[in-house]
Amino acid sequence: MNEFDLIERFFKPLAAGFEGSLNLSDDAALLTPPPGLELVITKDALSEGIHFIGDEDPALIARKLLRVNLSDLAAKGATPWVYFLALMLPKDTKPQWLERFAEGLSEDQKQFSIHLAGGDTSATLGMKSLSLTAIGTTPKGRMLRRSGAQAGDIIVVSGTLSDSALGLRILQGKANPYVVEADQDFLKDRYLLPQPRLELGLQLHGLASSCMDISDGLVQDLGHICDASGVGAAVELEKIPLSEAAKHWITLESPLLSLSLNGGDDYELLFTVPPERISLLPQGCTAIGVITRELGVNVFGKDAKQLIINKTGFQHFS
C-alpha cells in the first residue's frame, strides 16, 4: 500500500466532516481561530520500545497518543479542537495494524470532540515512531500556566498516582502474584489508556494559581512548577492519593511506594490553589502539600521526617 492509498483509506474518513481539513486533499489545513479564543498547541510523540511496548492493540496505542496530548490541553484548561498526525512506520507495517490504529482514533475523536486536520506519513528503517500535535482553545488570557504558584498555596493532585507505573510493571512480567487479577487489570488499563482530565482543567479557571499534568513523576513535575514560579514545595507522602489496587500491592512490596513520587505516565493534573479558595476544590482532588518560599521539592514522611529522594522521576538520556 502506498502513502496515498493509506491516507485515502484510513485517514480521510477521520477528517471528513471537519471543513478546515480540506478533506486531506491539499498541502495544508486552513483554520479560522474561533472569535475571542486563543489557540493552545501541544505536541507529544510516542516511540516503539520507549513509550509503548509494540505488541499492544494498535487502537490502544492510537488512543494513548491522542490522550497524552489531550492531557496537556487539560492541564492548560483548554478545550480540544483539532489534531495533526505524523506516522513514521516500518515498510512491513500491516494494513490491519493501521486499520485498528484508525479505529482507536475514531473512537476517541468522538469521545473528546476533536477532529483530524492533517499530518504526514513516511517510511522508517527503524521502529514505529508516532507524533501528534493537538490544538485546543481557551478564552483570551486564560490559559493555565506552570508559573503563578505562591508560597502558602496548597498543592493538589487529581485522581490517584503510581497506578500506571505499577501497570507497566505487570506488562513487563513483574507482577506480584498476590495482587488479584481485577486489580492487575485496573492497573494495566491505567497505563494503557490515560484519562485526560479535561473537565477538571476547565473547572480550574479562576481557582488554580498554576497547573501542569504529571507525566514524568510527581517530584520531577512539581519541580517544574516550582522552577517556573520561583518557589519550593513541601509534600506529605502519606497524603498522596493511591488506588485500592496500588495500596494493596505496595503493602506487599513497600519500596514500590516510591512510584507515587517518581513513577511515570500518571497523566493526572498537578496544580496549586490559594488557601482562601481551597473550599472550592472539585471532587476527586487531593491536597498533598504546600508551596514554600524555601526553594526545592521536599517530601516528608511520618512524624514530619524529611525523606531523601534519590531518583527524581523518569528521565530520558540517563
| From 40, 61, 68, 85, residue interacting with ligand ADP (rule: CB under 6 A) | 85
Question: Per-residue contact track with ligand ADP, 108 to 127, x per CB under 6 A?
Answer: --------x-xxxx------
- Alpha-carbon dihedral angle through residues 84, 72, 193, 199, given to the nearest 10 degrees: -110
Residues 138 and 37: beta-carbon distance below 8 Å: yes
Closest CB to Mg ion among residues 2, 283: 2
Amino acid (1-letter code) at residue 37? L
Residue 119 interacting partner from ligand ADP, Mg ion, none (CB closer than 5 to 8 Å by kind): ligand ADP
- Alpha-carbon dihedral angle through residues 147, 148, 154, 158, given to the nearest 10 degrees: -50
Q: For residue 63, what is the enclosing H or E element?
A: helix 58-75
Least CB distance to Mg ion at residue 65 (A) = 18
Least CB distance to ligand ADP at residue 11 (A) = 4
The SS3 call for residue 241 is coil
Calpha distance 3→166 (Å, rounded): 38
Closest CB to Mg ion among residues 24, 168: 24
DSSP-assigned letter for residue 294: S
- Using the structure block, give the residue that is written with the C-alpha cell 493552545: 40
Residues 187 and 167: beta-carbon distance below 8 Å: yes
Least CB distance to ligand ADP at residue 27 (A) = 5
Q: Phi/psi of residue 290, each to 5°?
A: -140, 145
Indicate whether 26 belongs to the interface with Mg ion (CB under 5 A).
no
Question: Per-residue contact track with Mg ion, 95 to 124, x per CB under 5 A?
Answer: -------------------------x----
Residues 312 and 262: beta-carbon distance below 8 Å: yes
Calpha distance 34→39 (Å, rounded): 9
Closest CB to ligand ADP among residues 118, 232: 118
- Using the structure block, give the residue that is written with the C-alpha cell 481551597: 278
How many residues form the binding site for ligand ADP (CB under 6 A)? 12
DSSP-assigned letter for residue 281: P
Question: Per-residue contact track with ligand ADP, 13 to 32, x per CB under 6 A?
Answer: -----------x-xx-----
Least CB distance to ligand ADP at residue 22 (A) = 7
Least CB distance to ligand ADP at residue 89 (A) = 9
Question: Per-residue contact track with Mg ion, 30 to 49, x per CB under 5 A?
Answer: --------------------
Least CB distance to ligand ADP at residue 194 (A) = 21
Binding-site ranges for ligand ADP (CB under 6 A)? 7, 11, 24, 26-27, 85, 87, 116, 118-121
Binding-site ranges for Mg ion (CB under 5 A)? 120
